[in-house]
Each structure stands twice: as structure tokens, then as C-alpha cells.
Structure 1
């Protein structure tokens, strides 16, 4: 055999070994990613203290909690990794003293089903409408947080028979998360849905250190609420089976919802409640809402971040109870 043939064989053998080791590495990462989800315990406990119920819908079953009597009040949580009705834990009980309060985990979050579907703003508009019709059964007031506040405005405009008064907490829809879907966004979603790459990035973002850092820097104004119990809950909620299915669509812009026209057309202006230290939706963005609806009432809570109902529940309740 010639020296050239020997070199070719050695080169081919070396390439094969590299490919085999690369395959082993990818397989190992995939196993680790899967193990993180499989070993995460389910969210068995009640998140808000209400009666736990389920609503079967075409795309999947929706977990929700309900308590109290009186005119219905629907609480809609923010959209993001680890989000759920848990964010209403401190205000659900007090609000249910005078109202019948509903707090669902939206599709893809918390204890609700997490189907393999394309998640869009329309997915959630249809879901919220179905929930009001089938679980609540009558027109309802809504308190909604962040992107869900944009969904609430859009639905109130589309279905005035379902939605009465609105309270929007650090809402998006005019500046943040309002742009139409772009090709670059589709590419981001496609990349994040790749089995190994997407799961690895998701597990890095939603690791305990990653969540702790994000909650401290981007969600809460004070580090005090970000204790081990809070981080554990977000980590557990983020790693339920299928818990990584919404984030690629969210980051790609599929859930963006521009509410400029809907907000302007509402017969009654919503109430706006903002944390002065909110990072994801800074208080400066409230100006756009007041430009569209100068008749809207804005209340700002100082030294509070993007979840004022969780970070400053007493102040939140004092304001909201005067509105509902």
C-alpha cells in the first residue's frame, strides 16, 4: 500500500473518530437536557389558594383556580419562562373577598397543557375568549400583566360581550412586543426549536442561577422577594414537560400584539398600574398609552418592578380595590 493511501486512511479514520465523538457529545447533551425535564416534579399544589379546576379546550386542558362570589374578575399572568398564575398568589385571596376570581395558567404554562403547536397572539386571544365563555360564563373584568394585558385589550375590542373593565399592569402592545412578525424572528424561532441547541439554551436561561439573576435584575426592584422558594417555583414551572415550547415563539415575535387601534376604540379607558422600576416595560412606555388614551388613569408604584402585585401586594390591593 502506498504512503498516499496510508495517509488517506489515517485522515479518514481521524475524521470518523471526530464525528463519532461529536455524536457522543451531542447525544450526551440531549440526554442531560431531557433529564432536567424528566426529574422535575409536577406542579401539584394550588398556586393561589383557590379551588383547583380544569377546562378542556381544543388545544389542551387549562388549569385554573377560582374562589369567591360576586361579579367575576379574571387574572391573566405575564408571558415568559416559568410564568404562571402563581404571580397572583398574594392578591388572589383578598380580591376573592368581594369578587369571584379566576386565575388560569395559560396554554403552555404552569399546570396547563403544553401542546406542540405554533403559539401566536391569536392562540391566546382565542384561548381567553373560550375561557370566559366556558369557565366564567358571563362578561368579566380583567386584570392582566405585561403581554397578557395587550391580549386583554385586543379581546375587549374584538369581543365587547365578554370583557368589561380592564386594569393593565405594566402593559405591552404599543412599543414593547408590538412589531409585526419579521423573517429574522422566524429564523430565531426555527433555531430555538432545534432539539439540542434550543433545549440547551433554554436550560441555560432557566437554570436556577439564570432565573435568580433574571428575576433580580429584570423583574423585581428589590432582591428580597427573590428567595430560594421563588426561584424554585419558577425553575419547576419552567421545566414541566413541554415547558420550553412557547419561548421560541415568544422570542421570535409570534406573540407580539399591537393594540394601538384597539386601545383607541375601547368605549372605556383602562386603568394603568405601573412599577416605577419595571425593566422589561419601563415606566416611560406609559406615555404612549396616555397619548392614545388621555382619559386613562395611571398610578405608579415607586420602588417596585414589573410584578407590583407580587412585590407590593398591599399597595397594589389598595389601588385596585378602589377600581373594581
Structure 2
């Protein structure tokens, strides 16, 4: 089982497409782990050396039961790069992973070849918070575990995903139960970004690298207004909305998502 020691923990990672010269690091959000990229890794690995890993608190990485922060998790990811000997990489962060990717770019911009912020929030006072039902699921993990996971999948995808793609819906359920994450550690993830809305971490940063902002049209967890606000602050960024998809657009619309990501990275 491949693992790397970074900071005070050990992270599990996987590498796909090792023969490619350029590296793409995929960073998950709240409650997700490396299996969440099951519809993306293989197509992306046809063009890039793709690194997936489990953030602290989930999957096969260490799970300290302490408060988590985006700063801390960005240091984890940069430490993973150090441990794997990756000097520079494209970085794609989804949801909370977008905050992690942002802070990697703020800390060590010379190491980020390009930055993709997917389904993420505006890290500052212009944030548009999740819908009430999404917020409820993020903050309250009581009740029947199966119903919690099913409701979470329904909120994270556009309406009707369960019937349009029953195989994908079942995979989301199975994946969540296999994530080795307790309800308490899920809350550690969901609370990691709470300290980042008072100061404006978008407006006070001018990314020196190319940026792609990706969001699903019907995202309730990180509403599209967040990406729109980031695009206004970073006019050089490319902004793309995936129509007919929600927060998990990369799972709902994998072919379109993989194409957009690949074309953006290859254009740099």
C-alpha cells in the first residue's frame, strides 16, 4: 500500500499513467477519497501522470481526531509532492479540495503549473453558502447512516441522478461506506473551511498560473455564484459551467468533464 509521510501524518496515494511527463494532482473534498475519481482517472491518465490521494481523515490515510484547516491540508498536499519528488504539477481541487488547491498556490505558486478550482466556494466574504438542505447534511450526521448517504448523493448531484444513472448512484453509496470515515471525522472535514470567510483569500491573490473554474449548473453545495465571483476577481481565468450537472459534475458528466480538463491543460 503506497504511502508517504508528510508533516505529522501518512497519506495514501496512487499514481496512474506514470510514463507521461506532466503531473496532474487530484484533490478531493469533504468525505471523499481516491475512489471518487473512478470515472476520471483512466481517461486523464491517457495524457498525464495522475496522482490521487486520500486527505487526512478519510480512506487509507491517517485519521487524527483533531481540528482540520485548509492551511493544514494544503501543507499535507505539498508534503506529498515533496515525498514523491514532484517539483511542479497541475492541481485540480474539487469542493473543499478547491480551497486546498488555492492555498497550495498561495503558499508555493512556483510549483503549481496550472490551477483548476472545481465546484468550490469563494474563500472570503463574498461566499455563497450551500443550500439549506446541503448545509443540514454537512453539519448533522445523526440518523440512519444509509439514509444520510443516500440523501447526500441526491443533494450532491442534479435532480434525477438516481434514476438516470442507478449504477453511478449505487457506486456513490458503496464508496461512502467504504471510506473508513466516522461521522466525527466527516465533521472535521466539513468544518475545515469555516475559518476562511472573514478575510478575502481570492481578491488578495493574483494567480501567476493559468486558472480554470469549473462548476455544475445545479450545484447546491458550492453554488455557481461562487465561481462567478472568483471569475470577476480573476479576469484571466477560464470559467466553464457544466450544464445539467450538480456538485459532482465529474461523476455525472464524466466525458464532458474529462474533455474540458484535458483540453485546458493541454493548451497551457
Report the TM-score when normalising by structure 2: 0.82
- 2:185 paired residue number: 245
Larger Cα-atom Rg? 1
Shift of 1:232: 2.1
* Aligned 8 A contact 2:11 2:56 in 1: yes
- 1:188 paired residue number: none
* Secondary structure, aligned partner of 2:99: helix
- 2:143 paired residue number: 204
Per-residue CA shift, 1:149-181, capped at 9, x if unaligned?
122122212202321101111121244489xxx
Please show how residues 4-23 of structure 1 align to structure 2 within 5 Å. Answer: none
**Which of 131, 137, 154 is the aligned partner of 2:103?**
154
- 1:213 paired residue number: 151
Q: How many residues align?
A: 246
**Which of 41, 59, 69 is the aligned partner of 2:8?**
59
- 1:73 paired residue number: 24
Q: Which runs of 5+ in 2 are unaligned?
A: 130-138
Shift of 1:218: 3.5
Distance 1:248 1:153, change over 3 A: closer
* Secondary structure, aligned partner of 1:62: strand
Cα distance in 1 for partners of 2:195, 2:52 equals 20
Shift of 1:133: 1.4
Cα distance in 2 for partners of 1:161, 1:241 equals 33
- 2:207 paired residue number: 266
* Aligned 8 A contact 1:84 1:110 in 2: yes
Please say if 1:125 is aligned against 2:68: no
Cα distance in 2 for partners of 1:220, 1:57 equals 36
- 1:288 paired residue number: 229
**Which of 166, 169, 184 is the aligned partner of 1:227?**
169
Shift of 1:289: 0.9
Shift of 1:253: 5.0
- 2:134 paired residue number: none
Report the TM-score when normalising by structure 1: 0.69
Cα distance in 1 for partners of 2:112, 2:58 equals 23
- 1:40 paired residue number: none
Cα distance in 1 for partners of 2:128, 2:65 equals 23
**Which of 182, 195, 220 is the aligned partner of 1:279?**
220
- 1:318 paired residue number: 259
* Secondary structure, aligned partner of 1:291: helix
Per-residue CA shift, 1:60-88, capped at 9, x if unaligned?
21111101122111000112x3x112221
Please say if 1:96 is aligned against 2:45: yes
Distance 1:204 1:250, change over 3 A: same
Cα distance in 1 for partners of 2:12, 2:213 equals 27
Cα distance in 2 for partners of 1:161, 1:319 equals 24
- 2:84 paired residue number: 135
Shift of 1:93: 0.8
Per-residue CA shift, 1:185-224, capped at 9, x if unaligned?
xxxxxxx9xxxxxxxx63527x111110121123344223
RMSD: 2.4
- 2:135 paired residue number: none
